[in-house]
């Protein structure tokens, strides 16, 4: 179910069917700058490519939950909506590009 776009940018994004952003994913927002830069640099990476290219063990241990967090917040999107998790490739959304461009 797509994200309710009116909730993007808030603390609690929701899907159109009423699911709420799981609070535990907030812990992974601190990795935004590193992962958003990697997604842009790696040209539509899969989860595995992001994992292999993550420069630290901390980032490698955060790839799956960070992807979930970033999708919930509309920062990244799937290149092909029908791919299953192993083949899924990701790219930045306009929101993700704007977030990446923010001064840290």
Q: Which residues bind another protein (CB under 8 A)?
A: 1-3, 13, 15, 17-19, 22-27, 46-48, 51-52, 54, 56-58, 60-65, 68, 71-72, 78, 81, 83-87
Name the 3-class secondary structure at 38: helix
Minimum distance from residue 16 beta carbon to another protein (Å): 9
CA distance 92 to 70: 10
Measured from the CB of residue 55, what is the shortest distance to another protein in angstroms?
A: 10
Which H/E stretch holds residue 77? strand 76-78
CB of 26 to another protein, least distance (A): 8
Tokens of 33: 């700058």
């Amino acid at each position: 179910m797509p994200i309710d776009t009116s909730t993007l940018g808030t603390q609690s994004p929701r899907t159109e069917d009423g699911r709420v952003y799981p609070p535990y994913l907030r812990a992974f927002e601190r990795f935004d700058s590193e992962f958003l830069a990697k997604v842009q640099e790696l040209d539509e990476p899969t989860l595995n490519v992001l994992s292999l290219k993550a420069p630290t063990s901390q980032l490698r241990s955060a790839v799956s939950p960070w992807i979930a967090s970033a999708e919930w917040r509309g920062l990244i999107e799937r290149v092909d909506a029908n791919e299953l998790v192993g083949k899924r490739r990701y790219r930045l959304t306009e929101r993700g590009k704007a977030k990446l461009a923010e001064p840290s």
